Amino acid sequence: MKELTAKDKEFLLNSIRNIYDFPKEGIVFKDITTLLNNKEAFNLLMTHLEDRYKEYNLDYVAGIDSRGFIFGAVLADRLNVGFVPVRKKGKLPGTTVCEKYELEYGFDEVEIHLDAFNEKKDARVLLIDDLIATGGTANAAAKLIKNVKANLVEVCFLLNLTFLDGKKRVEEHANVYTILDI
């Protein structure tokens, strides 16, 4: 399995723009749009993910709303597997199952279609998103995948904000792979 060099990681990190005091004062928002529009950085990232996961015998890649859709859909295409969106509540038609999670002030929910993985019994699923902070959304998404009887093989994030310790919350469900630890 190909590992990223320190130089590759630095290149990816430098392709991500910091937006200070967004969405509120004191927050440094990691803006991945600058990575997405940098064809060399985006290709490096997606080639790395393809190399990592091509031997995992995945059936699906699930992406968390909304930036996880970008990485997840491209990776699913490269691996020739299905893509499943994990959406914010009320955004999917049809029969869904949802999971509530706690926010700093209140609660939110994510959902997937009840039959998202029914094509294959015990489907092997990779869950992906751009960033893990406190882990609330990813933890809820991991629970959803397991609740519909799929096999959550691994959870992957481009960025891990280590000072918020969200990775630990998700590790109870599956191995967590992070590319850049900040």
104 part of the active site: yes
3-state secondary structure of 72: helix
Say which of 50, 67, 109, 171 is annotated catalytic: 67
| Phi, psi (deg, nearest 5) at residue 83 | -115, 135
Say which of 3, 25, 55, 104 is annotated catalytic: 104
172 part of the active site: no
Residues 6+ apart with CB under 8 A from 157: 128, 129, 130, 131, 132, 138, 167, 176, 177, 178, 179
* Cα–Cα distance for residue pair 126/144, rounded to 1 Å: 13
Polymer length in residues for the chain: 182
Give one DSSP letter per residue of 117-163, joined into a string.
TTTSTT-EEEEEEEEESS-HHHHHHHHHHHHTT-EEEEEEEEEE-GG
Q: Which two tokens stand for residue 53?
A: 């996961």
How many CB atoms lie under 10 A from the CB of residue 179?
18
Residues with active-site annotation? 67, 104
